[in-house]
């Protein structure tokens, strides 16, 4: 006999379910927020949704090798990591001759990849200027055999393709200059005059970029430092005069940017209003590394793009051309493949905002007035999409790009859409649901949909209700160097009262294996924990995975703790908590995974 699972009376209808009042603030070690001012210049940016980032500099010529050593991780940091003397590193310029660079071709690939804006490194932390600068001789025209300004051509080629063009500029770090931030292996920290650096290089160069390359969409600042709020304001004002419509990224510092950037390779856990951007690189490095072949697949890119869009943001994806000016073959191939997907399904990305219903076992949603786009990443095994919470009057449901209506019906609060046995795109087929009237914004709803028709249901604690001291924290760490990962975990669970409660909307009865995905330090291992659903209890002991250190991979264990049975569809609460008062926090819980058992 299975225990009968009691329905939760509290959660008797969708409208009274717990809805997050405001999006969660993400702690981050280098991101600052934006100024939140109303800004008409943000309109193009907010509807663009997909941008291309390009890291290109002397590090691209090195390709991840300095002397006899190969480096992994962020290739544009190679000078810093090798502590290469500035004078010696500067000699790389003497052989930097990117004859393979073809602005027209770059812009054409960008166009066919479906990006609406392009941001390229004018100067990264290494201090080398990839454009014709009068401020220094350490630039591509004066210091290399190439002798030409590739940025002039690229700016023109992008405009021809109707792509907004922008520059990345590292305004504080400059390992080539005695007064620039960061190089302490050649220059004494105590002797640095950052003001002098801003006055003599940074600001004059930013002025060149804002003067000589036509209308810029964005100046993408990175790594603020050395300036007070007032000094930053003065700098921004002096630059804005040159191009009042140009957007500045939030990494200009002190919350003075026009839109918000998250950390490198970070997507916020919950939908967020306003203008913001996630940045990712195609492989592990931003700058070209010859031996870095860990490229994201077209499916990965399409999922990343639709996931970011479903939360209301832009994705700017990076490619690292080599020292000859050629893009990695996989980057060309997979970006063009993404572009093909966008040709068909772009309506569900461009000009959209976050989805009005929460993430589903099958995928995510994006929206426009009167339209909900359903991004199907995972087809249910019964070919029926069952969705709770659609309260608008549906007028039609179609596969995007076809005129063939899909059959749908409403049963209670659920909408059931009949899918064809095979979807046209196994990576992400998008349905368009058109409706009249208002659709309630349920994007912050805590409830997790559980269905037996998917291989597994993954639930982040970000959506749990936190009792006692339990809370959530974003853990940041890298595998190699600068290839940041970010995982939100539940923390501070030491007492049975520090419980996580996951409100579930279960669509089908069944047995489910409960798998806890967590990190646990050795000292916290073997502590007793408990998963409960009604009267059912799954006791477990924590297992060690290793410590957390931002410069080490954070290891997670997928620990199967038992089976629960659900008698009938409905609303339930699943809780995870310490079984007794423990000395240490139970673990850092990243996900609760439910696997339907056959």
Q: How far is the CB of 170 from ligand H79 (least distance, A)?
A: 7
Task: State the burial class of residue 387 (Cβ atoms within 10 Å of its Cβ: 0-12, 13-18, 19+).
Answer: buried
How far apart CA 353 and CA 357 sit, in angstroms, is: 12
Measured from the CB atom, the residue of 78 and 464 that comes closer to ligand H79 is 78
Interface pick for ligand H79 out of 48, 51, 57, 76 (rule CB under 6 A) = 76
Q: How far is the CB of 164 from ligand H79 (least distance, A)?
A: 18
Residue 585: both structure tokens together: 């926090």
Task: State the burial class of residue 471 (Cβ atoms within 10 Å of its Cβ: 0-12, 13-18, 19+).
Answer: middle
Interface pick for ligand H79 out of 7, 30, 456, 521 (rule CB under 6 A) = 30
The values of phi and psi at residue 103, to 5°, are -60, -45
Interaction pattern, residues 246-265, with ligand H79; x per rule: CB under 6 A: ------------------x-
Interface pick for ligand H79 out of 181, 482, 534, 569 (rule CB under 6 A) = 482
- Of 70-78, 146-154, 405-413, 469-477, the segment contacting ligand H79 by CB under 6 A is 70-78
Measured from the CB atom, the residue of 219 and 515 that comes closer to ligand H79 is 219
- Of 74-82, 323-331, 360-368, 582-590, the segment contacting ligand H79 by CB under 6 A is 74-82
- Of 69-77, 228-236, 367-375, 509-517, the segment contacting ligand H79 by CB under 6 A is 69-77
Measured from the CB atom, the residue of 31 and 97 that comes closer to ligand H79 is 31
Measured from the CB atom, the residue of 121 and 360 that comes closer to ligand H79 is 121
Measured from the CB atom, the residue of 308 and 430 that comes closer to ligand H79 is 308
Which residues fall within 8 angstroms of residue 159, CB to CB, at 6 or more apart?
165, 214
Measured from the CB atom, the residue of 77 and 512 that comes closer to ligand H79 is 77
Interaction pattern, residues 209-248, with ligand H79; x per rule: CB under 6 A: -------------xx-------------------------
Distances in whole angstroms, Cα of residue 278 to Cα of each of 259, 260, 287, 335: 11, 9, 18, 17
For the chain, the farthest-separated pair of C-alpha atoms sits apart, in whole angstroms, at 82
The residue number with the shortest CB distance to ligand H79 is 286
CA 294 to chain centre: 17
Binders in 170-189 for ligand H79, by CB under 6 A = none
Is residue 353 within 8 Å of residue 310, measured between CB atoms?
Answer: no
CA 281 to chain centre: 10
Task: Indicate whether 74 belongs to the interface with ligand H79 (CB under 6 A).
Answer: yes
Measured from the CB atom, the residue of 76 and 585 that comes closer to ligand H79 is 76
The pairing of beta strand 588-596 with beta strand 457-459: antiparallel
Q: With CA atoms as reference, report the closest residue to 123 among 113, 106, 135, 115.
A: 135
Q: How far is the CB of 389 from ligand H79 (least distance, A)?
A: 37
Q: How far is the CB of 192 from ligand H79 (least distance, A)?
A: 16
- Of 16-24, 72-80, 347-355, 497-505, the segment contacting ligand H79 by CB under 6 A is 72-80
Measured from the CB atom, the residue of 74 and 415 that comes closer to ligand H79 is 74
Task: Indicate whether 354 belongs to the interface with ligand H79 (CB under 6 A).
Answer: no
Which residues fall within 8 angstroms of residue 142, CB to CB, at 6 or more apart?
136
Secondary structure, 3-state, 121-170: EEECCCCCECCCCCCCCCEHHHHCCCCCCHHHHHHHHHHHCCCEEEEEEE
Q: How far is the CB of 261 from ligand H79 (least distance, A)?
A: 9
Binders in 437-466 for ligand H79, by CB under 6 A = none
- Of 73-81, 291-299, 425-433, 521-529, the segment contacting ligand H79 by CB under 6 A is 73-81
List beta partners, residue 571. 505
Element containing residue 203 per DSSP (H, E): helix 203-212
Q: How far is the CB of 77 from ligand H79 (least distance, A)?
A: 6
Q: How far is the CB of 416 from ligand H79 (least distance, A)?
A: 44
Task: State the burial class of residue 274 (Cβ atoms within 10 Å of its Cβ: 0-12, 13-18, 19+).
Answer: middle
Measured from the CB atom, the residue of 101 and 286 that comes closer to ligand H79 is 286
Q: How far is the CB of 73 from ligand H79 (least distance, A)?
A: 9
Residue 400: both structure tokens together: 């995007």
How far apart CA 346 and CA 425 sit, in angstroms, is: 14
Q: How far is the CB of 32 from ligand H79 (least distance, A)?
A: 13
Q: What is the DSSP letter of 213?
A: S
Q: How far is the CB of 26 from ligand H79 (least distance, A)?
A: 15
Task: Indicate whether 202 belongs to the interface with ligand H79 (CB under 6 A).
Answer: no
Q: How far is the CB of 285 from ligand H79 (least distance, A)?
A: 9
Q: With CA atoms as reference, report the closest residue to 384 among 431, 357, 421.
A: 421
Binders in 492-551 for ligand H79, by CB under 6 A = none
Measured from the CB atom, the residue of 124 and 559 that comes closer to ligand H79 is 124
Measured from the CB atom, the residue of 262 and 286 that comes closer to ligand H79 is 286
Which residues fall within 8 angstroms of residue 98, CB to CB, at 6 or more apart?
146, 150, 321, 323, 324, 325
Q: With CA atoms as reference, report the closest residue to 103 among 151, 61, 139, 146.
A: 151
Q: How far is the CB of 276 from ligand H79 (least distance, A)?
A: 15
Which residues fall within 8 angstroms of residue 341, CB to CB, at 6 or more apart?
114, 298, 302, 425, 427, 428
How far apart CA 360 and CA 295 sit, in angstroms, is: 27
Measured from the CB atom, the residue of 279 and 491 that comes closer to ligand H79 is 279
Measured from the CB atom, the residue of 23 and 279 that comes closer to ligand H79 is 279
Helix axes 103-113, 329-345, angle to 10 degrees: 40
Residue 258: both structure tokens together: 């026009």
How far apart CA 538 and CA 589 sit, in angstroms, is: 16
Measured from the CB atom, the residue of 487 and 498 that comes closer to ligand H79 is 487
Binders in 262-321 for ligand H79, by CB under 6 A = 264, 279, 286
The pairing of beta strand 164-170 with beta strand 218-222: parallel
Site size with ligand H79, rule: CB under 6 A: 10
Q: How far is the CB of 83 from ligand H79 (least distance, A)?
A: 12
- Of 71-79, 98-106, 420-428, 534-542, the segment contacting ligand H79 by CB under 6 A is 71-79
Q: How far is the CB of 223 from ligand H79 (least distance, A)?
A: 5
Measured from the CB atom, the residue of 50 and 286 that comes closer to ligand H79 is 286
User: What is the binding site for ligand H79 (CB under 6 A)?
Assistant: 30, 74, 76-77, 222-223, 264, 279, 286, 482
């Amino acid at each position: 006999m299975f225990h009968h699972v009691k329905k939760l009376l509290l959660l008797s209808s969708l409208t009274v379910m717990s809805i997050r009042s405001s999006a969660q603030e993400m702690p981050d070690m280098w991101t600052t927020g934006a100024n939140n001012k109303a800004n008409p210049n943000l309109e193009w940016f907010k509807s663009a949704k997909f941008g291309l980032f390009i890291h290109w500099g002397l590090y691209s010529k090195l390709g991840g090798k300095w002397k006899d050593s190969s480096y992994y991780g962020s290739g544009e940091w190679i000078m810093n990591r090798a502590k290469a003397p500035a004078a010696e590193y500067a000699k790389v310029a003497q052989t930097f001759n990117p004859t393979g660079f073809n602005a027209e071709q770059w812009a054409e690939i960008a166009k066919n990849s479906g990006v609406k804006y392009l941001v390229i490194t004018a100067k990264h932390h290494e201090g080398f200027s990839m454009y014709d600068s009068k401020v220094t001789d350490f630039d591509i025209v004066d210091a290399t055999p190439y002798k030409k300004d590739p940025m002039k051509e690229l700016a023109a080629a992008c405009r021809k393709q109707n792509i907004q063009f922008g520059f990345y500029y590292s305004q504080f770090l400059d390992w080539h200059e005695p007064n620039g931030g960061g190089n302490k292996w050649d220059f004494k920290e105590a002797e640095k005059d950052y003001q002098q650096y801003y006055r003599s290089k940074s600001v004059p160069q930013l002025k060149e970029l804002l003067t000589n390359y036509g209308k810029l969409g964005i100046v993408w600042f990175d790594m603020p430092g050395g300036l007070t709020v007032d000094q930053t304001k003065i700098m921004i004002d002096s630059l804005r005069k040159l191009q009042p419509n140009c957007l500045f990224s939030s990494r200009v510092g002190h919350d003075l940017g026009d839109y918000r950037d998250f950390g490198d390779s970070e997507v916020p856990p919950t939908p967020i209003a306003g203008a913001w951007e996630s940045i990712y690189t195609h492989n592990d490095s931003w700058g070209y590394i010859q031996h870095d072949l860990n490229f994201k697949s077209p499916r990965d890119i399409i999922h990343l793009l639709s996931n970011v869009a479903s939360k209301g943001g832009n994705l700017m994806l990076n490619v690292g051309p080599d020292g000859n000016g050629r893009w990695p073959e996989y980057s060309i191939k997979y970006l063009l493949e993404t572009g093909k997907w966008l040709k068909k399904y772009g309506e569900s990305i461009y000009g959209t905002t976050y989805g009005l219903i929460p993430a589903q076992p099958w995928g995510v949603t994006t929206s426009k007035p009167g339209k909900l786009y359903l991004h199907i990443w995972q087809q249910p095994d019964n070919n029926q999409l069952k969705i709770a919470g659609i309260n608008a009057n549906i007028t039609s449901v179609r596969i995007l790009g076809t005129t063939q209506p899909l059959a749908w019906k409403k049963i209670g609060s659920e909408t059931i859409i009949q899918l064809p046995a095979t979807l046209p795109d196994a990576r992400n087929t998008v349905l368009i649901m058109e409706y009249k009237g208002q659709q309630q914004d349920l994007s912050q709803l805590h409830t997790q949909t559980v269905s037996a028709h998917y291989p597994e249901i993954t639930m982040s604690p970000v959506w749990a209700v936190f009792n006692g001291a339990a809370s959530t924290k974003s853990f940041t760490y890298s595998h190699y160097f600068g290839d940041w990962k970010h995982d939100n975990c539940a923390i501070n669970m030491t007492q049975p009262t520090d419980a996580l409660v996951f409100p579930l909307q279960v669509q089908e009865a069944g047995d489910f294996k409960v798998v806890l995905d967590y990190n646990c330090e050795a000292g916290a291992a073997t502590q007793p924990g408990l998963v409960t659903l009604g009267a059912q209890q799954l006791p477990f002991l924590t297992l060690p995975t290793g410590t957390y250190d931002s410069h080490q991979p954070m290891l997670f264990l997928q620990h199967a703790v038992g089976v629960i049975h659900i008698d009938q569809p409905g609303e339930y609460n699943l809780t995870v908590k310490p079984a007794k008062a423990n000395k240490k926090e139970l673990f850092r819980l990243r996900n609760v995974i439910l696997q339907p058992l056959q």
